[in-house]
Chains A and B, each alone.
Chain A
Amino acid sequence: EDQVTQSPEALRLQEGESSSLNCSYTVSGLRGLFWYRQDPGKGPEFLFTLYSAGEEKEKERLKATLTKKESFLHITAPKPEDSATYLCAVQAAGGNNRLAFGKGNQVVVIP
Chain B
Amino acid sequence: DVKVTQSSRYLVKRTGEKVFLECVQDMDHENMFWYRQDPGLGLRLIYFSYDVKMKEKGDIPEGYSVSREKKERFSLILESASTNQTSMYLCASTISNQPQHFGDGTRLSIL
Q: CB within 8 A of B50: which of A31, A34, A43, A97?
A: A97
Q: Report the Cα distance A102→B64, complex, angstroms.
A: 23
Does A104 contact B103, Cβ atoms closer than 8 Å?
no
Does B50 contact A96, Cβ atoms closer than 8 Å?
yes
Cβ of B31 within 8 Å of any chain A Cβ, yes or no, is yes
Does B101 contact A102, Cβ atoms closer than 8 Å?
no
Give min CB distance, B82 to chain A, whole Å.
Answer: 24
Give min CB distance, A8 to chain B, whole Å.
Answer: 14
Residues of B33-60 at the interface with A, using a CB-CB cut-off of 8 Å, are 33, 40-43, 45, 48, 50, 56, 58
Does A103 contact B40, Cβ atoms closer than 8 Å?
yes
Interface of B is mostly: strand
A-facing mask of B80-108, CB < 8 A → 1, else 0?
A: 00000000001010101101111111010
B-facing mask of A38-73, CB < 8 A → 1, else 0?
A: 000111111001000000000000000000000000
Asked if A44 meets B90 with Cβ closer than 8 Å, knowing A98-B33, A102-B42, the reply is: yes
Does B105 contact A41, Cβ atoms closer than 8 Å?
yes
Interface centre among A34, A36, A43, A103 (most CB of B within 10 A): A43
Cβ of A25 within 8 Å of any chain B Cβ, yes or no, is no
Cβ of A87 within 8 Å of any chain B Cβ, yes or no, is yes
Give min CB distance, B93 to chain A, whole Å.
Answer: 10
Q: Report the Cα distance A89→B90, complex, angstroms.
A: 15
Given contact pairs A42-B104, A43-B102, A98-B33, a sample of 15 additional A-B residue pairs in the complex whose CB atoms are under 8 Å apart = A41-B104, A41-B105, A41-B107, A43-B92, A43-B104, A43-B105, A44-B102, A87-B42, A87-B43, A96-B48, A97-B31, A97-B96, A97-B100, A98-B58, A103-B42
Interface residues of A (CB under 8 A from B): 31-32, 34, 36, 41-46, 49, 87, 89, 96-99, 101-104
